[in-house]
Amino acid sequence: MTQKELNDQRLLREAQDAVRHMHTRRHFLRESAMGLGALAIGSLLGGCGRRQENVMSSIAFDPAHPLLPKSPPFAGKARSVIYLHMAGAPSQLEMFDYKPELMKMDGQDCPGSLLEGKQFAFIRGVPKMLGPQAKFAQYGESRAWVSEHLPHFSTVVDEVSFLKAVTTDQFNHAPAQLLLHTGSARLGRPSMGSWVTYGLGTENQNLPGFVVLTSGGSFPDAGKSVWGSGFLPSVYQGVQCRSEGDPVLFIGDPKGMNRDIRKASIEAINKANQQEYEEYNDPEILSRISQYEMAYRMQIAAPEVMNINDEPAYIHEMYGTRPGKSCFANNILLARKLVEKGVRYVQLFDWGWDAHGDGPYNALNVGMINKYRSIDKAITALLLDLKQRGLLEETLVVWGGEFGRTPMMENRNGQQNPYKGRDHHTAAFTLWMAGGGIRRGFTYGETDEIGYYPVSGKVEAFDMQATILNQLGFDHEQFTYPFQGRPFRLTDVSGKVIHDIIA
Amino acid sequence: MLLLSITDLIARFHPVLVHLPIGILLLACLFQWLTIKNRYLFLQPVIPAILFWGMIGAVASCISGYLLSQSGEYDAQLVTRHQWLGILVAAFSFILYVLYKLSLNESWARWLSVILVILVTVTGHLGGTLTHGEGYLTSVLNRDEKKQTAFKPIPDIEEAAVYADIVQPVLEAKCYSCHSAVKQKGKLRLDSPESMMKGGESGKVLIPGKADESELVKRIFLPLGDEDHMPPKAKPQLTENEVLLLHWWVSTGAGFDKKVKELTRTEKIKPVLLSLQSGEGSEKAATDVPGTPVDEGDLTVINKLRQAGVMIIPVAQNSHYLSANFVTAGSVSDSVLQWLVSLKKQLIWLKLDNTSLSDSSMNYVAACMALTRLQLSHTPITDKGLVKLQSLMQLRSLNVVGTKVTIKGILALQKLAGLKSLYVYQTGVNSSDWDELRRALPAAQIDTGKYTVPALPTDTAVIRF
């Protein structure tokens, strides 16, 4: 008897035992009692959610092939998304939102009018104002303001559309990150990447459709929920890949197991699952079968695409990668490779942008300078590399944090912080988008003289989400999923496509 | 004044009242036919009573209907027909009632009731047409066909008449169903210059030169949920380009006999106008999807391609245009590629990057005449294969990054006037070829790549603390 036959038989025997169990008297009596109860409840709550099935938008969910590509409602300009999230919230006032007036107020007490009725994460009492901790200049044909901290990025400003007046209503990291990526500050909603892979599938069936890469030494504060699938089928959650060691944990076959045995065991498992499916007709089983098959193919495809070492030296120089280490630049290069291979949504998180100034590591003039340097070259290289490969026209790149930073210097618990830092600021911050049909070299929205409140072009997270979905070919108001008796959508009940930044 | 508003109120009850005679009279006719059977004979005595109340209902509907027709919001011709048929129904039910009272021949009465049923049906249908618009009933049969503006192909946009060629087709597709001869919601007609200038119930809708004060434009910009938003939420909305065109026309004076070249054009409107020239005005200009619909591609071929690992799907739901991606197809054999040819009308986006595509196989690619986007990066093709693409007149974007093609092959593509972007990074195209390239393809964005991000000392410097 070969190994394969042995495997087959063992699993099948277990499956058969399970079936036999279904025929026992004890099982029958218990299930009938419970079943009747459930039936009664079902009819008591009758109709809950039943009607939604007809409305379940036009997206057909095929449980046997959950990730096959699907057509969007209208032809979108973007095929994939790379979202670069600076977890901790970088300071717009040191990067893009130039406020010379704020310089004049540097060191003065904050006017009471800015503090009235306001609640901050750490600022207490009356803080001092803090001028921009950088020199600014205008670049490109679009004359966009960029600080001296981003010498490389300033050369590509004509590729991007800045959103200068983004607002949020969450002043803590985790809820603000959730709001940005799932449309709700509370846990439980699917993330944007899950929505997108649910709606569009993915073009490469050997790789996950939604990949998450993290750097900066820590996870985003919102944890894995920020790439979770919420109430969408679980195949749509983000797959976190690592940029050093195995890209996905346990992707290699263990010692003593060769590819043939792996294949035989997966076939055996799928056979048992197939039997199970024929018995119960539960579509989740079909998803499970297809996931096993994908995992098997991924064992070959993922290490190949996740290996940046086979990229030529000049590409490594361009991105400023550090092969063998785990860093943002490596992840950026990976993002390009993944998008090139047809991955739908690549989500990057870079931790460590929380510039409070309570220590040197998060001071605007010490630790943050290292952070700017760690992303500047890589992001610039990403935009240029996508562009020269003809991928920028079909790849939407988004950059930003979960909120902004105050024009005031942080005084934690009323005490001046030892280093220069700013507190969390919800009313106005900067995001930018590029590629995927977004207007080139444009700035939308404006803040007041000190960057405190939006003056024009105010947008919310929902508007950004609506715009991303629009570029992919969805009307965010029609893109729904039935759950708990009502259709849910990413943008909940808000969101307006920002037409001004669409080319 | 009070009297007037009371008549208005009665008029508005017409759509409710009409259902009474319809139901009651049909019931009377039904009973009449049922009495053929002996066991239903007991119904006989109630028929006159039912007829009587049906007649009362018909008369009440006539009165309220007459009052409603005075509002003048409806197509006069249709209203007249509906009105006289309604009166006929009332009269007929009266005659039938009287005949019954005189207990005339039963079979006679039965045949008269058939006529009454027909009369009620036709009148009711006309009434429905008045409220819901022409073709409401049949529209469910071809619901999928989105109402699209049919711009006539405009050969020379400079000479095009702004109103007749551009504005009117938009109004016709999106506004006429409620604001023209058939119906005049809000007493507004938009189907002639005079009536447009006249406006409707709430005054003028068009203030030449002031788009932001003209109701015609203002209401389009209201949020979709707003009660005053036009067209109403359930109706086909104007596309982005159509909104821009209307706005531009009104803000440049809303002239009815101007040509495009006589009006000032903003930066925003220029590309929209240009897109009209090729006859795809109501489509979004940059999506690379043709505006004209196409028949469905051969499903057996599509399925064969899918089996071969090719990701081939429609570019959008409700579109038959196809997008194909060979990212996981492995090697491409001629037997697979030749299937594409039978989808040549539908296939508009084709991605063959990193495949083993050879020059000889390019014949199959070149046969896909509808292609607008073609990606051939990192394939073994050379100039020999590239020149075959001369036939792809619809091509807007071509990617030959990482191939052996040279300036010679690219120059063969000069004829492709629609080519908007060309990616030639890592090819045999040299920087010395640049001027020649520019001359050959003046309209295209050509990207030769080789971008560098110079190393700065600060890139790797780390501040220690």
Which chain B residues are within 8 Å of A205, Cβ to Cβ?
A: 311, 328
Dihedral, CA of residue B251, residue B256, residue B257 and residue B259, to nearest 10: 40
Residues A350, A298 share a domain: no
Q: Cβ atoms within 10 A of the Cβ of A6, count? A: 12
Residue B384 · residue B359 · CB < 8 Å: yes
Closest by Cβ to B458, choosing from A314, A360, A373: A373
B159-177 per-position pLDDT tens digit: 788 888 888 888 888 888 8
Residue A430 · residue A407 · CB < 8 Å: no
Say whether pLDDT at A107 is over 70: yes
Average pLDDT, chain A: 90
**CB contact B240 to A (< 8 Å):** yes
Residue of chain B nearest A156, judged by CA positions: B453
Which 35-94 residues of chain B touch chain A by CB within 8 A? none
Residues A390, A287 share a domain: no
pLDDT the model gives residue B22: 93
> Is residue A52, in this structure, part of any structural domain at all?
no
Choose among A186, A233, A211, A194: nearest CA to A65.
A233
A155-209 per-position pLDDT tens digit: 999 999 999 999 999 999 999 999 999 999 999 999 999 999 999 999 999 999 9
CATH of the domain at A158: 3.40.720.10
Say whether pLDDT at A447 is over 60: yes
Left, alpha or beta for A194 (phi > 0: left; psi -120 to 50: alpha)? Answer: alpha
Q: Quote the CA–CA distance of B404 and B426 in Å, as a whole number.
A: 8
Residues A457, A313 share a domain: yes
A2-11, A125-134, B31-40: lowest mean pLDDT where? A2-11
Which of A265, A287, A302 is the endpoint of a domain? A302
Q: Inter-chain contact B287–A75, Cβ cutoff 8 Å?
A: yes
Best B283, B315, B351, B453 residue to mutate vs chain A (most A CBs within 10 Å): B453
Q: What is the rounded average pLDDT of the residues A267-271?
A: 91
Q: Cβ atoms within 10 A of the Cβ of B445, count? A: 12
**Omega cis (within 30) before B48:** no
pLDDT the model gives residue B279: 46
**Ordered alpha helix ranges (H), A146-282:** 173-182, 192-200, 259-280
CA angle (B349 as vertex; B347, B352 as ends), nearest 5: 105
Please write down the long-range contacts of A415-419, taking CB distance under 8 Å and 24 or more positions apart: A416/A128, A417/A356, A417/A357, A417/A358, A418/A357, A418/A358, A418/A359, A419/A357, A419/A358, A419/A359, A419/A360, A419/A362, A419/A363, A419/A364, A419/A365, A419/A366
> Is residue A392, in this structure, part of any structural domain at all?
yes
Which chain B residues are within 8 Å of A342, Cβ to Cβ?
A: 311, 325, 327-328
Confidence band, pLDDT 50/70/90 cuts, at residue A52: very low
Average pLDDT, chain B: 85
Q: Quote the CA–CA distance of A474 and A466 in Å, as a whole number.
A: 8
Q: What is the residue type of B382?
A: T
- Point out which residues pair with B259 in neighbouring strands: B161
A308-317, A473-482, B308-317, B432-441: lowest mean pLDDT where? B432-441
pLDDT the model gives residue B32: 87
Best A56, A71, A314 residue to mutate vs chain B (most B CBs within 10 Å): A71
Q: Quote the CA–CA distance of B431 and B407 in Å, as a whole number.
A: 10
Q: Inter-chain contact B465–A367, Cβ cutoff 8 Å?
A: yes
Q: Quote the CA–CA distance of A160 and B64 in Å, as a whole number.
A: 62
B334-343 per-position pLDDT tens digit: 888 999 999 9
| Residue written as token pair 């009620």 | B120
Q: How far is CA A478 from its chain centroid?
A: 21
Please state the ipTM of this predicted complex: 0.84
In this structure, what DSSP letter does residue B400 have?
-
Say whether pLDDT at A372 is over 80: yes
Choose among A309, A107, A70, A60: nearest CA to A202.
A70
Q: Cβ atoms within 10 A of the Cβ of B464, count? A: 7
Give percent of chain A above pLDDT 70: 95
> Is residue A224, in this structure, part of any structural domain at all?
yes
Say whether pLDDT at A77 is over 60: yes
Collect all residues with Cβ–Cβ distance below 8 Å to A176 and sequence separation of at least 6. Answer: A89, A168, A170, A185, A402, A403, A426
A201-229 per-position pLDDT tens digit: 999 999 999 999 999 988 899 999 999 99
Q: Inter-chain contact A390–B462, Cβ cutoff 8 Å?
A: no
pLDDT the model gives residue A416: 86
What range does the domain containing A1 cover?
1-45+255-302
Q: Inter-chain contact B451–A206, Cβ cutoff 8 Å?
A: no
Closest by Cβ to A370, choosing from B311, B317, B462: B462
Q: Quote the CA–CA distance of A459 and A139 in Å, as a whole number.
A: 24
State in Å, rounded, how far the first CA of chain A is from the last one. Answer: 65
Which of A270, A287, A302 is the endpoint of a domain? A302
pLDDT the model gives residue B144: 44
> Is residue A458, in this structure, part of any structural domain at all?
yes
Tell me the nearest-neighbour CA distance from A250 into chain B, angstroms.
24
Closest by Cβ to A318, choosing from B313, B421, B452: B452
Residues A324, A293 share a domain: no
pLDDT the model gives residue A54: 42
Residues A268, A207 share a domain: no
Residue B93 · residue B21 · CB < 8 Å: yes
Which chain A residues are within 8 Å of B400, Cβ to Cβ?
A: none
> Sign of the C-alpha dihedral, residues B255, B260, B263, B265?
positive
Best A337, A376, A389 residue to mutate vs chain B (most B CBs within 10 Å): A389
Q: How many residues are recorded in chain B?
A: 465
Collect all residues with Cβ–Cβ distance below 8 Å to A226 and sequence separation of at least 6. Answer: A177, A178, A181, A182, A191, A220, A349
Number of domains present in the structure of chain A: 2
Higher pLDDT, A56 or A28: A28
Which chain A residues are within 8 Å of B462, Cβ to Cβ?
A: 370, 373
Residue A217 · residue A352 · CB < 8 Å: yes
What are the distances in angstroms from CA A317 to CA A152, A367, B185?
A: 13, 24, 67
Q: What is the rounded average pLDDT of the residues B10-19?
A: 89
pLDDT the model gives residue A334: 93
Confidence band, pLDDT 50/70/90 cuts, at residue B399: very high
Residue A192 · residue A150 · CB < 8 Å: no
A247-256 per-position pLDDT tens digit: 887 888 888 8
> Is residue A484, in this structure, part of any structural domain at all?
yes
Q: Inter-chain contact A373–B461, Cβ cutoff 8 Å?
A: yes
Structure tokens at A449: 């003289």
pLDDT the model gives residue B276: 75
Bridge-based pairing state of the strands A239-241 and A442-444: unpaired
Q: Quote the CA–CA distance of A386 and A414 in Å, as a whole number.
A: 47
Residue of chain A nearest B287, judged by CA positions: A77
**CB contact B237 to A (< 8 Å):** no
Confidence band, pLDDT 50/70/90 cuts, at residue A49: very low
Say whether pLDDT at A446 is over 90: yes
Which chain B residues are within 8 Å of A317, Cβ to Cβ?
A: 455
Higher pLDDT, B20 or B110: B20
**CB contact B397 to A (< 8 Å):** yes
Q: Inter-chain contact B328–A388, Cβ cutoff 8 Å?
A: no
The highest-confidence range among A231-245, B59-73, B352-366, by mean pLDDT, is B352-366
Give the phi and the psi of residue B272 in degrees, each rounded to 5: -65, -45
Residues A203, A84 share a domain: yes
Burial classification of residue A385, based on how many CB atoms lie within 10 Å of its CB (0-12 exposed, 13-18 middle, 19 or more buried): buried
> Sign of the C-alpha dihedral, residues B50, B55, B60, B61?
positive
Choose among A490, A502, A435: nearest CA to A461.
A490
Q: Quote the CA–CA distance of A70 and B9 in Å, as a whole number.
A: 52
> Is residue A56, in this structure, part of any structural domain at all?
no
Residues A312, A270 share a domain: no
Angle separating helix axes B299-307 and B334-341, nearest 10 degrees: 150
Q: Quote the CA–CA distance of A223 and A219 in Å, as a whole number.
A: 6
Structure tokens at A244: 């050093």
Q: What is the rounded average pLDDT of the residues A21-29?
A: 82
Residues A279, A314 share a domain: no
Say whether pLDDT at A261 is over 60: yes
pLDDT the model gives residue A56: 43
Bridge-based pairing state of the strands B373-375 and B347-351: parallel
Q: Quote the CA–CA distance of A443 and A164 in Å, as a whole number.
A: 7
Residues A100, A8 share a domain: no
Residues A496, A390 share a domain: yes
Higher pLDDT, B45 or A230: A230
Give percent of chain B above pLDDT 90: 34
Which of A284, A302, A320 is the endpoint of a domain? A302
**CB contact B148 to A (< 8 Å):** no
Residues A272, A221 share a domain: no
Tell me the nearest-neighbour CA distance from A278 into chain B, angstroms.
24
Confidence band, pLDDT 50/70/90 cuts, at residue A309: confident
Closest by Cβ to B459, choosing from A58, A71, A373: A373
Best A59, A393, A472 residue to mutate vs chain B (most B CBs within 10 Å): A393
Angle separating helix axes A283-305 and A259-280, nearest 10 degrees: 160
Residue B383 · residue B360 · CB < 8 Å: no
Q: How far is CA B177 from its chain centroid?
A: 13
Best A68, A74, A80 residue to mutate vs chain B (most B CBs within 10 Å): A74
> Is residue A55, in this structure, part of any structural domain at all?
no
Q: What is the residue type of B6?
A: I
- Point out which residues pair with B184 in neighbouring strands: B179
> Is residue A297, in this structure, part of any structural domain at all?
yes
Q: Quote the CA–CA distance of B225 and A42 in Å, as a whole number.
A: 35
Collect all residues with Cβ–Cβ distance below 8 Å to B371 and sequence separation of at least 6. Answer: B347, B348, B349, B350, B365, B392, B394, B395
Bridge-based pairing state of the strands B373-375 and B397-399: parallel
Q: Inter-chain contact B423–A388, Cβ cutoff 8 Å?
A: yes
Size of interface A-B (CB pairs under 8 A): 112
**CB contact B450 to A (< 8 Å):** yes
pLDDT the model gives residue A288: 86
A452-503 per-position pLDDT tens digit: 999 999 999 999 999 999 999 999 998 999 988 889 999 989 999 999 999 8
B240-293 per-position pLDDT tens digit: 788 888 888 888 888 888 888 888 887 778 777 777 765 444 434 445 788 788
Give the helix, strand, coil percentages of chain A, each rounded to 5. 40, 15, 45
Choose among A185, A227, A183, A78: nearest CA to A463.
A183
Residues A194, A294 share a domain: no
**CB contact B295 to A (< 8 Å):** no
pLDDT the model gives residue B283: 39
Dihedral, CA of residue B203, residue B206, residue B208 and residue B212, to nearest 10: 100
